[in-house]
């Protein structure tokens, strides 16, 4: 637990598996960290990488290795995360936000990034005995990128690849079969409270809908809280008060299209499904919002999608 930190409470099985693979020097060519978002998979991957590089290093070198890894400039580590494409450039979520780019579709792992892995592995490790690649949110890979990754997994050379995904089912079976699986578990309420308290997020504990939506994920609870703070309060209040009139539905659809980007709209679908189900257990309303999600992911014009959704709900 010391190596991985308190934020990974409740993940003893995963921690023990990873620790023993380093201690016994039985590193697999590829690992699949899977479980719902916000339960520590990425944190575990970073801690695991630190353990890999520190294990056989001289005591005098460990502090420098740790510094390079935590600053993200270790030459033998490549961290891949979903990106947005803007004017033929790949931007991280933070870069896209800083540039003020309106996100029309969720970010994804792109084939250019998988090709970068091949170039990275073409050279030998510079400081350690192996290279390490981590692929965050691997479930966002389209088919072309997934097939390209499959070729890399077949011949990783002197490297360890960590694939991080929300579930086993979200990846190609051929990718899953080439990885050692490391499952991460949802947490019970007491562990959720303990972690959020230690992180100083006690204000979240007073919001039952946040804990319900988080479904055993501290990271998800924090993300939901932050998302709620960033969305227009008047919009959330109007949407949560049912029933809506047809006119109000059309006005709200316009506001959603105008003020929320694609990722925020998809998040709103999840939020409304939970809120509506808690207040009135009407399956048709949940089904309507599920159709909304599918249409948004299919790039149907968002305002039209929300107009149809809110008219049905009204």
Both 205 and 136 in one domain: the answer is: no
Does the residue 1 lie in any domain? no
Containing structural domain, residue 118: 6-183
Does the residue 36 lie in any domain? yes
Q: Could you say which of 183, 199, 219 is where a domain stops?
A: 183
Does the residue 173 lie in any domain? yes
Both 79 and 204 in one domain: the answer is: no
Query: What is the per-residue pLDDT for 81?
Result: 96
Is the confidence at residue 86, as pLDDT, over 70? yes
Q: How many CA atoms lie within 13 A of 94 on its CB side?
A: 1
Does the residue 286 lie in any domain? yes
Q: Average of pLDDT values for 279-297?
A: 91
Q: Could you say which of 149, 183, 217 is where a domain stops?
A: 183
Q: What is the CATH number of the domain that holds 169?
A: 3.40.50.300
Both 164 and 248 in one domain: the answer is: no
Both 282 and 160 in one domain: the answer is: no
Residues above pLDDT 70, as percent of the chain: 97
Both 90 and 132 in one domain: the answer is: yes
Q: Could you say which of 122, 149, 183 is where a domain stops?
A: 183
Number of structural domains found in the chain: 2
Is the confidence at residue 5, as pLDDT, over 70? no
Both 196 and 113 in one domain: the answer is: no
What's the chain's average pLDDT?
A: 90
pLDDT tens per residue across span 132-146: 999 999 999 999 999
Q: Average of pLDDT values for 285-311?
A: 93
pLDDT tens per residue across span 160-172: 999 999 999 999 9
Does the residue 34 lie in any domain? yes
Both 136 and 278 in one domain: the answer is: no
Both 25 and 80 in one domain: the answer is: yes
Q: Which residues pair with 258 in a beta bridge?
A: none
Both 78 and 106 in one domain: the answer is: yes
Both 22 and 151 in one domain: the answer is: yes
Residue 156's pLDDT band, with cuts at 50, 70 and 90, is confident
Q: Average of pLDDT values for 113-129?
A: 91
Is the confidence at residue 2, as pLDDT, over 50? no
- The whole model's pTM is what? 0.83
pLDDT tens per residue across span 188-247: 989 999 999 998 999 999 888 898 889 899 999 999 999 999 999 999 999 988 767 888
Both 286 and 165 in one domain: the answer is: no
Is the confidence at residue 272, as pLDDT, over 50? yes
Q: Average of pLDDT values for 38-62?
A: 90
């Amino acid at each position: 637990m010391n190596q991985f930190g308190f934020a990974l409470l409740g993940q003893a099985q995963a921690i023990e598996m990873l620790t023993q693979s380093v201690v016994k020097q039985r590193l697999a060519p590829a690992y699949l960290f899977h479980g719902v978002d916000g339960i520590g998979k990425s944190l575990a991957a970073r801690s695991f990488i630190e353990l890999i590089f520190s294990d056989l290093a001289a005591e005098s070198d460990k502090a420098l290795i740790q510094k390079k890894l935590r600053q993200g400039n270790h030459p033998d580590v490549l961290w891949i995360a979903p990106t947005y494409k803007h004017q033929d450039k790949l931007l991280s979520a933070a870069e896209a936000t800083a540039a003020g780019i309106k996100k029309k579709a969720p970010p994804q792992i792109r084939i250019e990034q998988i090709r970068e892995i091949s170039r990275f592995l073409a050279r030998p490790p510079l400081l350690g005995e192996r290279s390490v690649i981590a692929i965050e949110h691997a479930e966002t890979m389209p088919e072309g990128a997934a097939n390209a990754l499959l070729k890399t997994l077949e011949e990783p050379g002197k490297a360890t690849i960590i694939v991080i995904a929300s579930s086993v089912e979200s990846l190609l079976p051929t990718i899953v079969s080439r990885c050692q699986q490391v499952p991460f578990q949802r947490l019970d309420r007491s562990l959720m409270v303990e972690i959020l308290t230690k992180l100083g997020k006690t204000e979240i504990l007073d919001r039952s809908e946040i804990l319900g939506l988080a479904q055993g994920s501290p990271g998800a609870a924090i993300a939901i809280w932050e998302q709620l703070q960033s969305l227009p309060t008047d919009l959330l209040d109007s949407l949560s008060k049912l029933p809506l009139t047809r006119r109000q539905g059309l006005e709200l659809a316009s506001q959603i299209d105008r003020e929320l980007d694609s990722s925020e709209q998809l998040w709103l679908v999840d939020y409304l499904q939970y809120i509506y189900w808690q207040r009135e257990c009407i399956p048709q309303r949940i089904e309507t919002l599920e159709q909304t999600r599918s249409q948004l992911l299919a790039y149907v014009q968002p305002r039209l999608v929300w107009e149809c959704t809110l008219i049905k709900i009204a």
